Amino acid sequence: MDTISIMNQFPITKESMERFFNQTKDLILSGERNPLELAVVLKAIEETISKLRKDEEIENSIQKEFEKHSKKTVEIYGAKMTLKETGVRYDYSNSLVWSKLAETKTEAENKVKEHEAFLKTLKDKTIIVDETSGETIELWPPVKTSSTKVTVSLI
C-alpha cells in the first residue's frame, strides 16, 4: 500500500476518529484481532508521527503553505490551524540575582535527591536526632507505587 492511500484512509474528523477508535477497540475486545499486534502497530504509528512532526523540512513546508492563506487562523481539512509563537525561552543568566537563586535551587534539589536516596534505604521507621536543634525526627521509608505495562520496542 502506498503512502497516499494510507494517508487517505486515516481518519481526520472527530467523528471518523471516534468511529475508528470504537471499531478498533471492538476488534481487540472481541478477540478478532490480537492486542499485541495493536500494541506494535500503535508503537510504529507513534514513532512515524514523531519523526514527521520533528522534521524541519516538513515543518518549513507546512509553514510555507500556511502563509499562502494570508491569515493567522485557517479552517481547512476539518481542522482549525493557527500560526503562533511557540517554544519561547528566556535567558536570565545575565542577572546576578537570578544566577544566585538558581544556584540555591540546584543545591536544594540535590539535597532533596540525596535525602530521597537515603529514605529508599530504610526498611522500617527510623528515628534520627537533628544535630542543630536536638529535635528527634521520625523517618519512614517512602511508599512505593507503580503500575505494570507492556512496553514495545520496534526491532
Residues 50 and 109 in one domain: no
Residues 29 and 62 in one domain: yes
Residue 6: per-residue pLDDT: 83
Q: When comparing pLDDT for 2 and 29, which is higher?
A: 29
Residue 10 falls inside a structural domain: yes
Cβ-based neighbour number of residue 76 at 10 Å: 10
pLDDT at 1 over 70: no
Residue 153 falls inside a structural domain: no
Residue 2: per-residue pLDDT: 81
DSSP-derived 3-state class of residue 61:
helix
Residues 119 and 70 in one domain: no
Residues 55 and 118 in one domain: no
Strand partners, 74: 81
Residue 12: per-residue pLDDT: 86
Distance between CA atoms of 9 and 53, rounded to whole angstroms? Answer: 19
Residue 29 falls inside a structural domain: yes
Residues 37 and 105 in one domain: no
- Residue ranges of E strands in 59-134: 73-76, 79-82, 126-129
Residues 34 and 75 in one domain: yes
Residues 110 and 69 in one domain: no
Residues 40 and 101 in one domain: no
Residues 102 and 78 in one domain: no
Domain encompassing residue 49: 3-82
Q: How much of the chain exceeds pLDDT 90, in percent?
A: 85
Residue 8 falls inside a structural domain: yes
pTM over 0.85: no
Residues sharing a CB contact under 8 Å with residue 128, sequence separation 6 or more, in sequence order: 136, 137, 139
Residues 76 and 115 in one domain: no
Domain count, the chain: 2
Residue 89 falls inside a structural domain: no
Residues 8 and 53 in one domain: yes
pLDDT at 145 over 70: yes
